[in-house]
A and B are shown apart, each in its own frame.
Chain A
Amino acid sequence: MSRITPRSVVLGIGGLLGHDANAALVVDGRLIASSQEERHTRLKHDGAFPHRAIAECLALAGLTPHEVTDAVFAEKGLQSHLFDLTGRTGNVFTRALGRVLPEGWGNLYGQQARRLLPQAKFHHAWHHLSHVAGAFHTSPFERAAFLCVDGKGEDYSASAGVIDHGELKLLWEQPYENGLGMFYTVITYFLGFVSFGSEYKVMGLAPYGEPRYVEELSRLFTTDDRGGFRLHREIRFTEQSIIAAFPWVTKLTGIAVRKKSDSLDQVHIDLASSLQHIFEEEVFKMARFLRTETGEENLLFCGGCAQNCVAAGKLRSKKIFTAVFNSPVGGDMGSGLGASLLFERERRCGLPFKADTRGFYLGGDPGPVPAGARPWQMKFDGDVHAYIGKQLAIGKIVAVVRGGMELGARALGARSIFADPRAPGMQSRLNLAVKFRESFRPFAPAILAEYTGEWFDSADESDYMNYTAYLRPELRASLPEKFSSLRERLDFPRCSIPSVIHVDFSARLQTIRPEVHPDFHKFVTAFHALTGVPILINTSFNVAGQPIVRTAVEGWDCFVNTDIDLLVLNDEIFRNPFEKTREEKLTWLKQFAKLA
């Protein structure tokens, strides 16, 4: 039987900057799939050519590599390397060189891509424009201002402008090696969180402290009332360059560097709090500048720094813009998706279009259950959602591997661990015996959307865990004046759902709607029916340093090495054999330790 070849098969490829390689496929204008290479290679933030992610996307579309008509890279490799090499950005000379030399040069993926995709034409997008297109075409806006902030585009750290279906105006930018993202990264490393992408840990630590070191940190940079930010030292995005800056930070702030193995003291916590405070203030200034200059009512907040959901939540509640959209895949894991949508945008020559993201469940199914799991399969009556709802209500921890895998850093209910947020000590239990990570790390509440306003200060949607909100004041317990330790503060019963409410009463919400999360909605509804609480803990199904599990086999492997009670694989439920000793589990964990 012959098949009609589609006219346009566009593959977006991200990761050229050396991390978070990913791919996305748009066929005849329809978003079909997107996948991250780390989920396949099991190496967190893997930056190798994403041929496994590409293969998955093509398999989901039923296409072969020969049928790809266009491949769009989400970065310009040459321009990025050139600016890294010279250490000078944004000047006439290097920019002219960047324009004259071919875009294909310096593309680390070029050779493999040409070999894999013989029929494709290749294109290279400016990195931030990939983020912007990815955010706009998955947002509800018809036009908006955009603010893209991250560690590094080719040679810039922040860019801003205006976008609608026909117009994309890139108006302003800031150089990268002195930027806000670089500042956050340097202090993150300085605090002993030295693995790539650990900035979110510092964000989670910040509420435990007070911003007492804002003045000291302010000696490291200059800024203006438009959020024009510049570090007093040029730092490149290499571990070597970042570590070399530590003596400079110590000299100007008078604070000693913390090693990963050192204890986490109040000074470090307050430093994290100060860093987050400065970051938020700079973002607000940028947003105010953009609002004044563009007159737009809507804002797209994207780029790696937009993953800072605390800043995004505050930005939304400040009402500098009428509405704010924080892209759930605004970081580099969604750059291929953005690049493919940027191409599709051009192909349509201004005709309006929005990508159907289907809740960002854009990856493949879990595949078959491993044979080793069969002896532990459980029999249950009725439907899987109702049974799991009951088990959660009696305090069981349940992992789920069902349906298409979610794209992005957050597990959205298809590769998740669920638990009861009311259970005392659940936060520590999950952190220490299931996730094997720092005990201070908070968990996110997944709440039925219609109840959000009853529990939190904002009833706005947060479908993808991309904003924070605060518990309503009447639901808070009164706190003592002072706590003697971090542990005491963490364990204090501050409300009826302590595992998902941070010490400052904030929470990184995921609002659950049946049209966005059809399967997850049923689990939360079942739990709500039994307990009267429309909220579940939702955390990613992995351990510290490990990418989120993808297949049923990986799910089983992770399950038996942790203290999770039950595992849902597709429509079947398994109980944990609890056969592994503590030593065996720790040995298993070691393979991920370097990336934790």
Chain B
Amino acid sequence: MFCLLGFVELKAQMPHDAIYMNKNLACGALVYGNNYWTNYWENSLKRDNPNIGRLTTQSVTAMIAYGIKRDLNVIAMIPFVKTEASQGNLLGQQGVQDLSVFLKAKTKSYHGLTAHGVLGFSIPVSNYVPDFMPMSIGLGAKTLLARGIISYNVTKNIYLSSSIAYQARSFVKADRDAYLSGSKLYNTDQVPVPDAFDAAFRVGYLKKDNQLELFAEHFSCTKGDDILRNNMPFLTNDMTMTSVGMYGKYQPKSFGVNARVAYVVDGQNVGQSTTLSVGLLYQFKVK
């Protein structure tokens, strides 16, 4: 859902999966994320940068999912993000980033097949600096997201799912009042962040509230420019990445834990990041 050099993908449990809270049941989560990269793709050139070393983005995300109905959930999340470079002299940034809210609904199962739809938005909730990448904590754009998911129960406990999403992303007001995009200089502080697609394929095991999943995800922008030779990334970049990972959740009772690991195997204009996250979950009845 976010696409930034070294960005934390806050995806533990979430608006992209095929799992629902029952009516009036809520699940709150506090998730710690750690995303880091040493190598990145400057356009398509894979390189390191000794003046950054390892760029680490840590986050703590508060999240809640609530069952309005058993087939209609609302999910909201808000992260605090902190960036740091291990070498060089770029000052780390930190702050509360973007609030996201999603509605997720599903159809009835038909021969094990279920269709789901997700609509959501995100909006920055603090005035962080968007154009000091890769140290910025976010892109600063407002986004609207629509996602379609098809899930299939192979057996009672084994599932497959596939999803595709489109994100419309807004202009961002940069601190600078001119920027280069491609070979054109724009004399304005209004920067269009390119729209993006993502797609994913998942296979997993689910029994009651316990889950183990393998996934592959792909993210790409609909347009955008490339990082110029030896330049810093910018909001207009056409970022692309393909990642693989694993997700697990163990929830014996009201309290549970989850963990996620993801690794970018290929990309363009992004860091080759590894993301680790662990969360504490708490399920409770409302009313």
The answer to whether A and B assemble together is no
